[in-house]
Structure 1
Amino acid sequence: MLLFVQVIVCFILVIVVGTWLSKSADILAEKTRLGRTWIGTLLLAGVTSLPELATGISAIVVFNAPDLAVGGILGSCLFNLLILALLDILSGPEPLLKRAQISHGLAASLGCAMLGVTAAAIILARTNISLTVGWFGLPSLVLLLFYMASARTIAQFETRRRAEVLEEEAEIFQYQHVKRQQAYLIFVLLSVATVVLGVWLASLGEQVATATGLGQSFVGALLLAAATSLPEVVVSLAAIRLNAVDMAVSNIFGSNLYNLAILGIYDLVYFQDNLWLHVNQVHIFTAVIAMIMTSIAIAGLIYHAVSRSRMYITWDGLTLIILYFGGMYMIYYT
């Protein structure tokens, strides 16, 4: 009963703080003039993904459970893509991805490539090919370098795109009454609160998982992933209410990029052996499903750029929901 009460309290606090964080990020996007896409992809996504980093390191260092940590990351990638479908349902008569910039396809495609590297790492770990330096796997290094290159590419692309947009239309300021220093301070405080709440929620999720006795792969891919992804859900929904669609969508794709880079950090802190040797091969399937879902989202971005409005949910949103729950079903029975 006490565990249930803690979960409810934590959920409420995450919702409140996440809503404030989304508005704070919107203010920061205006004050820095970097734009909602840049802030969502690189800054907001990093903050909302920190619970995955903290809980995963805890699972590896304290509990020696690398499979749980990796399952949590890949399951979080799946859950983030499911959020796109949920946002699509709640976005109104016009498709979510029609309201978003088609340029989000850049971050999505880079994330798809990183998922491919992850799947290849799990496969190659079972071969006779040595891909380690000491305890650290070369695929992990590729993931870290790929993320840094992706962040730089996205930042450069968004800077150029935003400059072209501002040449054609005047920028509208909504938060002139907020000072820049105040905006920075509020964002930092809310970010710290989000991370603390995310870690607390994940620890509660682990306690629930222990009580249910479910397997590590399934728990990591579903329960732990859902717990650590709750900040993304709240922040993205709040961004939609602020009509900051680009910030919501970029937060989803940016979180997946950041999550996959976290796998490289997990390998760094797992001193015992090559991390990829201790990852269940079912996660290859999880990575492939995430690649398919990302590809569907990219197709939706391109298709809806010229499509008409719809009644309730788009074909890509429905496909994402089917793939997510179908994938969870297969992981549970594998």
Structure 2
Amino acid sequence: MVFILFFLCAVVTVICAIKLSTYADALSEKTALGGMMVGTVLLAGATSLPEVTTSISAIMLDNPDIAIGNVLGSNMFNLLILASFDLYFRKKQIFKGASGEHFYTASIGFLLAVTTLLALSLKLNFTFLGIGIDTLLIITIYAVGMFVLTNLSKKEQIINVDPVEEEEKSKLNSSAISLKRAVYGFIIAAIVILVTGTFLTITGDRIAVITGLGSSFVGSFLIAATTSLPEAIAVLIAIQLRNYNLAIGSILGSNLFNMVILVGTDVLYQQGGVLSFVSPVNQITAAAVSVLSVIILYSLLRKNYHSATTYTFPSVLLIIIYFVSSYLIFVH
């Protein structure tokens, strides 16, 4: 029964993610925010709601390994999603026309991943007002990074816009959605995803017990992959709508938002700094996120490649590192 409920929650999450992506695309068209900011802030926050409820529920169940493993594992899986779609839609070369602002978003993500890795390795259980110093540092980096990113978005414009693609995109059904409908639809879909995330955690915790796989692996792999389904659907729909900045922004922004969840879990965890009370296996996940972030940074920076094969090399490398890291997490 627990496996069936887990599957049903995953299906509902996917359906709502499709709606979220469509409404977010409509919002990016009908407001002054644009695909980059809608993807990085609005869509990323909404698609990260399952991670929010999953991690909070895990803390309530006194299972910090699922809480932290879910966040870091989701970030790993999110980057796998981006690389996989880049490989599948290699002829579209989604990184080629990406806004330069995505590089700054990815840089913030890399810095947060490295900070988390150091915190997990050093395990300095120092707290201030019941919150770990390490997670306070994480939220500070996030706040400063988002402040800088917001200012940059006001000064820079989206680059490499193809007028033909924009004309084709305007013919898609998202343009027929009114602004009011997009706002209300987005909110309703986000609320449903919030609810299903809670059930995913509860059933995932039971699966960890039944299968004996362990909370760290279940959190970093099974639940992380499931709670990342909204991001996967969001990217797919955005690419089909030819809104590549929305696709990239939703993944990179989601990874930033996920790191803020660590702070929320630390606030709720009463035994001390939460990063000091989890399994060392999470260090592998944090290290993997750091390495994968470097590959994404390279993909955003490079401009010249001689063929489709050389273009896809970073994505292929990212996918390989992801599965090697997942194997190491499973073994440990």
User: TM (normalized to structure 2)?
Assistant: 0.89
Match of 1:332 in 2: 330
Match of 2:152 in 1: 157
Give me the whole-angstrom Cα distance separating, in 1, the residues matched to 2:109 and 2:89: 24
Q: Which structure 2 residue ranges, 5 or more long, are not aligned?
A: none
Match of 1:105 in 2: 103
Match of 1:319 in 2: 317
Q: Which amino acid in structure 2 is aligned with residue 59 of structure 1?
A: A
Tell me whether 1:65 sits opposite 2:60 in the alignment. no
Tell me whether 1:48 sits opposite 2:47 in the alignment. yes
Tell me whether 1:199 sits opposite 2:198 in the alignment. yes
What's the secondary structure of 2:213's corresponding residue? coil
What's the secondary structure of 2:304's corresponding residue? coil
Change (3 A) 1:57 1:289: same
For residues 153-198 of structure 1, give each alpha carbon's deviation from its aligned partner in whole angstroms, at most 9, with x where no partner exists: 22221222138999x9xx9793665433232112111221222233
Contact 2:99 2:159 in 1 (8 A): no
Contact 2:25 2:35 in 1 (8 A): yes
Change (3 A) 1:226 1:165: closer
Match of 2:83 in 1: 85
Give me the whole-angstrom Cα distance separating, in 1, the residues matched to 2:145 and 2:185: 28
Give me the whole-angstrom Cα distance separating, in 2, the residues matched to 1:86 and 1:178: 29
Give me the whole-angstrom Cα distance separating, in 1, the residues matched to 2:322 and 2:27: 33
Give me the whole-angstrom Cα distance separating, in 2, the residues matched to 1:10 and 1:65: 20
What's the secondary structure of 1:162's corresponding residue? coil
Change (3 A) 1:122 1:164: closer
Give the deviation of 1:80 after TM superposition: 0.7
Question: Which structure 2 residues correspond to residues 103-252 of structure 1 after superposition, within 5 A?
Answer: 103-125=101-123, 131-162=126-157, 174=170, 177-252=176-251
Give the deviation of 1:14 after TM superposition: 2.6
Q: Which amino acid in structure 2 is aligned with residue 85 of structure 1?
A: A
Question: Which structure 2 residues correspond to residues 14-25 of structure 1 after superposition, within 5 A?
Answer: 14-25=13-24
Contact 2:281 2:329 in 1 (8 A): yes
Give me the whole-angstrom Cα distance separating, in 2, the residues matched to 1:138 and 1:4: 38
Give me the whole-angstrom Cα distance separating, in 2, the residues matched to 1:11 and 1:283: 24
Q: Which amino acid in structure 2 is aligned with residue 190 of structure 1?
A: A
Give me the whole-angstrom Cα distance separating, in 2, the residues matched to 1:266 and 1:153: 25
What's the secondary structure of 2:95's corresponding residue? helix
Contact 2:97 2:159 in 1 (8 A): no
Contact 2:120 2:275 in 1 (8 A): yes
Give the deviation of 1:24 after TM superposition: 0.3
Change (3 A) 1:123 1:184: same
Contact 2:132 2:272 in 1 (8 A): no
What's the secondary structure of 2:157's corresponding residue? helix
Number of aligned residues: 326
Give me the whole-angstrom Cα distance separating, in 1, the residues matched to 2:159 and 2:84: 32
Report the RMSD for the aligned CA atoms in angstroms.
2.5
More displaced 10-residue stretch of structure 1: 69-78 or 188-197:
188-197
Change (3 A) 1:245 1:320: same
Aligned equivalent of 2:305, options 304, 307, 313: 307
Change (3 A) 1:317 1:177: closer
Q: Which structure 1 residue ranges, 5 or more long, are not aligned?
A: none
For residues 21-63 of structure 1, give each alpha carbon's deviation from its aligned partner in whole angstroms, at most 9, with x where no partner exists: 11100111122211101011111111111111111111112x2
What's the secondary structure of 2:71's corresponding residue? helix
Give me the whole-angstrom Cα distance separating, in 1, the residues matched to 2:159 and 2:227: 37
Change (3 A) 1:187 1:65: same
Contact 2:51 2:71 in 1 (8 A): yes
User: TM (normalized to structure 1)?
Assistant: 0.89
What's the secondary structure of 1:156's corresponding residue? helix
Give me the whole-angstrom Cα distance separating, in 2, the residues matched to 1:123 and 1:143: 15
Give me the whole-angstrom Cα distance separating, in 2, the residues matched to 1:233 and 1:177: 24
